[in-house]
């Protein structure tokens, strides 16, 4: 059996990833908040669930300890998916340090240091794959959620340094940059995005679904991109393309 950790897996993109991986992997899926969503995932897929605040060092350590219990043969895949948006969208001139610190802790520090723990474990078996699920916000400036963009840009660099460090050890690191994906994170502005997409924002005239991201994870998990160390996959309907 191949083994995987998926963080932030009870809803949205993470849930789609856990659903896909559960077909072939033994999955340890983390959640924070709604136990009912996590339990429904477990019932549906057979995933093990584990409550974890990725921003807290003790929770990250406990997650790896639990994974070692479940996966004595080693860890094959870590999917860093857990992340949060600002509690309130505010202009960069009005945004608070509290919001900045909260997003950095969850979106950047959390996955960075969880990857450190997972990579040390993977080195014991000289195998493994690591995925950072970031965002088009890693390269797209939104002045009303600057802290989110900065956290995702930092996560992109985290992918680069781990990829550089681990490639020769047989451990591959990737980044998926989702675009506008239909999840509860964008529920309040979904209508606005639908209108922008209809107006030509995306070359592919549709919003993404969690299953679109899950299929990219599947390609990585199955080893199809193993000669693409450090690669970024744009899963954004063509948003990253530039045209005149």
Active-site residue list = 148
17 within 8 A of 79, measured Cβ to Cβ? yes
**Contact in structure between 183 and 12 (CB atoms under 8 Å):** yes
* Packing angle of the helix pair 57-70, 110-125 (nearest 10 deg): 30
Phi/psi at 85 (nearest 5 deg)? -100, 165
Cβ atoms within 10 Å of 29's Cβ, excluding its own: 29
How far from the centroid of its chain's Cα atoms is residue 220's Cα?
A: 13
The two three-digit tokens of residue 234, written as one number: 């744009």
Question: 175-191 burial by CB neighbour count: b if 16+ within 10 A, else e?
Answer: bbbbbbbbbeebeeeee
Distance of CA 157 to CAs 35, 90, 103, 175, 215, Å? Answer: 32, 25, 16, 10, 23
Sheet with 48-51, edge to edge strand ranges: 48-51, 25-31, 2-6, 77-80, 128-133, 171-178, 232-235
């Amino acid at each position: 059996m191949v083994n995987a950790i998926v963080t932030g897996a009870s809803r949205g993109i993470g849930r789609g990833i856990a659903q896909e991986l559960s077909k072939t992997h033994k999955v340890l899926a983390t959640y924070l908040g709604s136990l009912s969503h996590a339990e429904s995932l477990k019932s549906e897929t057979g995933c093990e669930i584990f409550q974890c605040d990725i921003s807290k060092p003790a929770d990250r350590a406990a997650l790896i300890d639990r994974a070692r219990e479940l996966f004595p043969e080693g860890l094959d895949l870590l999917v860093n998916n857990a992340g949060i948006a600002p509690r309130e969208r505010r202009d960069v001139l009005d945004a608070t340090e509290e919001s900045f610190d909260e997003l950095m802790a969850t979106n950047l520090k959390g996955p960075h240091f969880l990857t450190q723990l997972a990579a040390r474990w993977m080195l014991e078996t000289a195998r493994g794959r690591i995925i950072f699920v970031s965002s088009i916000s890693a390269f797209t400036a939104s002045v009303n959620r600057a802290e989110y963009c900065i956290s995702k840009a930092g996560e992109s660099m985290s992918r680069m340094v781990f990829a550089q460090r681990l490639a020769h050890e047989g451990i591959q690191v990737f980044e998926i940059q989702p675009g506008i994906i239909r999840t509860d994170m964008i529920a309040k502005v979904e209508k606005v995005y639908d209108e922008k997409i209809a107006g030509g924002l995306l070359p592919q005239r549709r919003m993404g679904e969690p299953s679109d991201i899950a299929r990219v994870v599947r390609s990585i998990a199955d080893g199809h991109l193993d000669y693409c160390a450090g690669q970024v996959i744009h899963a954004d309907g063509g948003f990253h393309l530039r045209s005149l």
